[in-house]
């Protein structure tokens, strides 16, 4: 049986990727609802608007992947989907770009905030920690799909083995060469590195939101999210991803990460330098 499939009942196939990504989304919504309640807002805003945010997030994440040009020798991304348009819908095979998902999710959150008459920045701050948790969980879908891994670790115990059918081949490396990279070769689990980074960020944002709740401005937690995730994604892409989609000399995800970091810094700068709040906001209930 295909190791990517969790349940197979006749023609019905449930993929691990879909189960894990769905679990991450539910966890993100749960954390967002908890944070909204802690801030004195109506947590039902999250559950009522969850469908819009998830749908637009999935659309954005899929489009980012579809229009990408990964350097993995698979001719995937736009080179593949332009010739096989119906496969755009086959998200169970993997292929969700987080930055596209963030853009789609932000658009969904804006619509929810307008519809519910709730501050977008408060909603975004409530959602940010849970998004990192969802990313930490969701990255394990890449494990089951045997994707998003790095080069050989050179170790006999650290790393993951990759079936030859899922190995990458780029102009500079060819991991499909079983003479040079035999079946027992272990590769860097970049999905794991990012998962650990994201989980640490989730813990950090939850702690900051509580420890400094009387000194934070609306939008601060979201800004910190972009800074934390941007740095994490950058070092993973630069150090461990020979198959990264590049734009010029740098991986595209690094360029987007740098823009995200700049966005996060700008939020904090506006909140704490330009506006110079005279007094901290009243503390919310714990």
Q: How far is 130 from 138, CA to CA, in rounded Å?
A: 12
Q: Is 180 exposed, middle or buried (0-12, 13-18, 19+ CB in 10 A)?
A: exposed
pTM of the model: 0.89
Sign of CA dihedral 31, 43, 263, 204: negative
For 236-261, write each residue's pLDDT tens digit. 999 888 888 888 888 899 999 999 99
Model pLDDT, residue 244: 81
**Is the pLDDT score of 94 beyond 80?**
no
For 196-241, write each residue's pLDDT tens digit. 999 999 999 999 999 998 899 999 999 999 999 999 999 999 988 8
Burial readout 71-109 (b: 16 or more C-beta within 10 A, e: otherwise): bbbeebbeebbeeeeeeeeebbebbbbbbbbbbbbbbbb
Q: What is the DSSP letter of 170?
A: -
Q: How far is 268 from 212, CA to CA, in rounded Å?
A: 14
Is 28 in contact with 130 (CB distance < 8 Å)? yes
Q: In terms of Cα–Cα distance, which of 23, 27, 21 is closest to 130?
A: 27
Q: With bands split at pLDDT 50, 70 and 90, how would you rate the model's confidence at 178?
A: very high
Q: How far is 63 from 203, CA to CA, in rounded Å?
A: 30
Tokens of residue 192, six digits:
């794991």
For 15-66, write each residue's pLDDT tens digit. 898 899 999 999 999 999 999 999 999 999 999 999 999 999 999 988 988 8
């Amino acid at each position: 049986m295909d190791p990517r499939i969790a349940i197979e009942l006749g023609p019905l196939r449930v993929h691990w990727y879909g189960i894990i990504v769905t679990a991450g989304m539910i966890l993100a919504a749960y954390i967002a609802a908890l944070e909204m309640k802690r801030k004195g807002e109506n947590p039902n805003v999250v559950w009522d608007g969850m469908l819009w945010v998830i749908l637009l997030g999935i659309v954005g994440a899929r489009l980012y992947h579809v229009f990408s040009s990964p350097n993995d020798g698979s001719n995937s991304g736009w080179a593949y989907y332009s010739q096989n348009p119906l496969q755009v819908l086959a998200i169970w095979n993997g292929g969700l770009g987080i930055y596209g998902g963030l853009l789609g999710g932000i658009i969904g959150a804006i619509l929810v905030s307008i519809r519910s008459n709730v501050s977008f920045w408060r909603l975004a701050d409530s959602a940010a920690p849970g998004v990192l948790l969802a990313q930490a969980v969701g990255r394990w879908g890449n494990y089951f799909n045997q994707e998003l891994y790095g080069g050989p670790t050179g170790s006999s115990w650290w790393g993951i083995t990759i079936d030859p059918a899922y190995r990458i081949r780029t102009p500079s490396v060819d991991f499909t060469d079983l003479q040079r990279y035999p079946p027992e070769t272990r590769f860097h689990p970049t999905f794991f590195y990012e998962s650990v980074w994201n989980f640490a960020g989730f813990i950090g944002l939850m702690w900051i939101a509580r420890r400094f709740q009387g000194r934070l401005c609306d939008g601060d937690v979201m800004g910190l999210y972009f800074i934390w995730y941007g740095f994490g994604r950058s070092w993973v892409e630069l150090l461990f991803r020979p198959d990264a989609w590049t734009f010029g000399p740098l991986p595209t995800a690094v360029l987007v990460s740098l823009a995200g970091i700049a966005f996060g810094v700008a939020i904090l700068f506006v909140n704490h330098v330009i506006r110079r709040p005279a007094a901290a906001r009243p503390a919310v209930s714990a």
